[in-house]
Amino acid sequence: MTMNPLLLDNQLCFSLYSTSLAVTQIYKPLLEPLGLTYPQYLIMLILWEKEGLGLKDICERLSQKPGALTPVIKRMEKDGLVLRQKNTEDERQLEIYLTDHGRSLKTEALAVNACLVSSCNLSLDDLNELKTRLDQLRSQLNSINPAN
């Protein structure tokens, strides 16, 4: 018996899409006490790793266009999470820095990750293997996609 390639439930793309939706829904109530949305959380993760990045750098890390992230970052600035400052060498470029409030959320965010891991009901080894495989798949798909 062969698998019907035209059934929705047999589509890899649908499994990835629906799993992504499920993960972001798990994050929603976990991030709410921090006052963050999921896209804001992703930006905060990048800035906790390294501050002073430009919008282009953040967009590349998240595989997003500037038009999608600019309003998110402006909202984060309004909420007191980040500051946008002109680059001293090129004033056309803005660098994004965390505020003290933005930095203070890092400790609380550790609990978010722990809750997500426990929600998955998989061992850490299984989760790490899954992440490795997904990273490999993304890398392969990006290598054959001319838009990347």
Query: What are the pLDDT digits (tens) for 1-14?
Result: 568 889 999 999 99
Strand ranges for the chain from DSSP E: 53-54, 82-86, 94-98
Q: What is the mean pLDDT of residues 109-130?
A: 93
43 touches 84 (CB < 8 A): no
| Per-residue confidence (pLDDT) for residue 24, from 0 to 100 | 95
The structure tokens 């800035």 sit at 47
- Angle ∠(17,23,28) on CA atoms, nearest 5: 125
CATH code given to domain 26-113: 1.10.10.10
Lowest mean pLDDT, pick from 90-94, 116-120, 144-148: 144-148
| Per-residue confidence (pLDDT) for residue 2, from 0 to 100 | 66
Q: What is the mean pLDDT of residues 125-131?
A: 96
| Per-residue confidence (pLDDT) for residue 46, from 0 to 100 | 98
Number of helices followed by number of strands (H, E) in the chain: 6, 3
pLDDT, tens digit, 9 for 90 and up, residues 12-55: 999 999 999 999 999 999 999 999 999 999 999 999 999 999 99
Contacts 24+ apart (CB under 8 A), 57-66: 58/96, 63/148
CB burial string 138-148: b at 16+ within 10 A, e below: eeeeeeeeeee
pLDDT, tens digit, 9 for 90 and up, residues 44-102: 999 999 999 999 999 999 999 999 999 999 999 999 999 999 888 887 888 999 999 99
Predicted TM-score (pTM) of the model is 0.90
Which 3 state secondary structure label does DSSP give 66?
helix
Parse the chain into domains and list their residue ranges: 26-113
| Per-residue confidence (pLDDT) for residue 3, from 0 to 100 | 84
- Say how far apart CA 83 and CA 97 lie, in whole Å: 5
Count of beta carbons in the 10 Å neighbourhood of residue 86: 11
pLDDT at 148 over 70: no
Angle between helices 38-49 and 12-31 in degrees, nearest 10: 80
Residue type, 36: L
Count of beta carbons in the 10 Å neighbourhood of residue 40: 21
The structure tokens 């993960």 sit at 23
